[in-house]
Structure 1
């Protein structure tokens, strides 16, 4: 088993963050929780450049509609005028910072671009009191970047 999986022994609320195709591993965690009847509060932030990049947004909206413990927050960094986007904008980890003054009682699962995972890791611990051992991550790396990425697990 890899290291990016739901820690079921905890009762802490969960913040899930995905950028781009980091959605797939986060999807697995959410579906596992639903299948096993885990009802801990979960806030799922999915960051993408444009609305079209939220390729399974309807699925995430369905989770939130069907399960009162799940909240879905899509965030676009380059919203296009033609999309008529009225949701959150900016970088996905910054949306979490805006929503949480204190993460000390949470678990955070982050998957996606290394720059997002690294930014989330540093700021959530430094600025929001997240315990280091409650931050779980996978980051997508190009092969040439793997040597420098020993701190993070690759998806």
Structure 2
């Protein structure tokens, strides 16, 4: 089961190139903001802080893969709905699906996937998701 996080956004001048179309790199900023919002809802930061105190290590979440299909150019001033969902983890990776849709016209502008690793800050290796970590995510997905 997955649930979607929704965020409204109006494309601003500083996000566009001279043709008043969104720069490709801006999509990934939007996706990152959505991932952080979901992490906040899951309460991952408090879990990571607790783990750091207990085990003398902390967790880092680097992006391992990012793929975006740019379906249509997004003009300046477009009202968007940015939807992101966290998939149920199967390994030491968190997979997020993203969709950028026009709020007023319903057009699908982009679909993307980002994969974030769950790594030990101490040794830089992928770590298994412990039961408490899985429970936080499952509670979020089922709420």
Q: TM-score range by the shorter chain?
A: under 0.3
Answer with 1 or 2: which has the greater Rg: 2
| TM-score under structure 1 length normalisation | 0.23
Structure with the larger RCO, 1 or 2 (CA within 8 Å, 6+ apart): 2
Q: Going by fraction, where is helix more abundant, 1 or 2? A: 1
| TM-score under structure 2 length normalisation | 0.25
